[in-house]
Structures are given as structure tokens and as C-alpha cells.
Chain A
Amino acid sequence: ETGVTQSPTHLIKTRGQQVTLRCSSQSGHNTVSWYQQALGQGPQFIFQYYREEENGRGNFPPRFSGLQFPNYSSELNVNALELDDSALYLCASSFSSHNEQFFGPGTRLTVL
């Protein structure tokens, strides 16, 4: 059974640029959730995708957007990057929106 994978591992961008992060869900899972974890804090929920539809969103601006593909993999896109977007971005997959979530290793984004 393949676990949750994320790419890239690390990324450095400059303010104003756009970034795309990728996540492959665990085999058999149809739900993907994205989280942002700033240094020294717990992960904060960005949004969740279930069967290719966004079915929940946290307190993040519209420049944070996402996609889920038919194979249930997912992308997180962030436009007009700001310095405060520097964080660890975590992806989690689950069998449905209410089940146990399993996390990938994360993508560490630095915005200069």
C-alpha cells in the first residue's frame, strides 16, 4: 500500500510569484485535505476535496485554490505569494471526508 506523497520537498519563491504543490493520495482514498503549518504552530486547514469537488474551506483567501483529479491526486495553487505564505504545506488523504486522515511528508515553501 502506497502512502501519501507530496512534491516538491522544498521550494523557494519570491513575493508575487505563483506556486503549485502536488499530492498523491493513499491507495483507496478519495478525499484530500490541505493544511498550512507555520513555524511553531499546529496545522491550519485550507480546504478539502472529495471526489473532485471542494467540500469545505478554512479561513484562507481566494488566491489559495486547488484541484482534485479523477485519480484523486490533488494540487494546491497559491497566487501572488506573500512573505507570510512561508510555511510547511501538508496534504492528507482519507477514505471519506469523515474518516481518519493520513499525512504526506509536506512541502516546505519559503517566500523571499
Chain B
Amino acid sequence: GIQVEQSPPDLILQEGANSTLRCNFSDSVNNLQWFHQNPWGQLINLFYIPSGTKQNGRLSATTVATERYSLLYISSSQTTDSGVYFCAVRGDTGFQKLVFGTGTRLLVSP
């Protein structure tokens, strides 16, 4: 099945810093989502982005489907950005489950 790798596994930032999280996947996809999991376990949708670029406030994402990667940019980070960021993809042949990466754990300190 499709493989998803996220990097870096852990990231520590000072408040106000910028960061880039990466998601690599092993096959063509028809769905790619970025999530933020808060300390209570809730997965919050950030982007639905199988291709192209989107922006939402301080966050933006780019997926280059032909090269099988996606990037999540966080600018001017805040302590509330702390948590685990997951990338999840679904392959585009037949029924495919949504496959999650192992996540990037982000800690933003004041």
C-alpha cells in the first residue's frame, strides 16, 4: 500500500518563528489532508489539498502531486500551534483507505 513519511519528527520553536513541515508519499493520490491534533486528541482539518497551493491565515500548504510531496508552512508561530501535525493521503486506484503519516510533533515556547 501507499507509504507516507513526515519530517521532521519533532520540532521546537520560539514563538514568532516560521517552520516548514514535509510529507512524502509513495504513489499518486486523489486526496491529501493536513491535520492538527490538539492535546485532547481532536483532529482539526487544516487543508484538503491533493494538488496546488492554499493559504489560511498564518498557515499555507503546497502539494506537488507529480513529485509526491506536500509542504505545510507555519508563519509567526504561536504557543497554540503546539501539537502534532499529520498528513494523510489516499491513493487514486479503486477503494483506498486514508493513510496517515507518523506526524510531526511541534512545540512552540513563549
Contact = CB atoms under 8 A, between A and B. Distances in A.
B95 A103 contact: no
A42 B40 contact: no
The dominant DSSP class at the B interface is strand
B43 interface: yes
A90 B42 CA distance: 9
Interface string B6-22: 00000000000000000
Contacts of A92: 43, 98
Contacts, number: 50
B99 interface: yes
A88 B42 CA distance: 10
Interface in A72-112: 88, 90, 92, 97-103, 105-106, 108
A55 interface: yes
30 contacts: A33-B98, A37-B41, A41-B102, A42-B100, A42-B101, A42-B103, A43-B86, A43-B100, A44-B100, A45-B97, A45-B98, A45-B99, A56-B95, A56-B97, A58-B97, A88-B41, A90-B43, A92-B98, A97-B95, A98-B30, A98-B31, A99-B31, A100-B45, A100-B48, A102-B45, A103-B35, A103-B42, A103-B43, A105-B40, A106-B42
Interface of B: 30-31, 33, 35, 40-43, 45, 48, 86, 88, 90, 95, 97-103
Interface of A: 33, 37, 41-45, 48, 55-56, 58, 88, 90, 92, 97-103, 105-106, 108
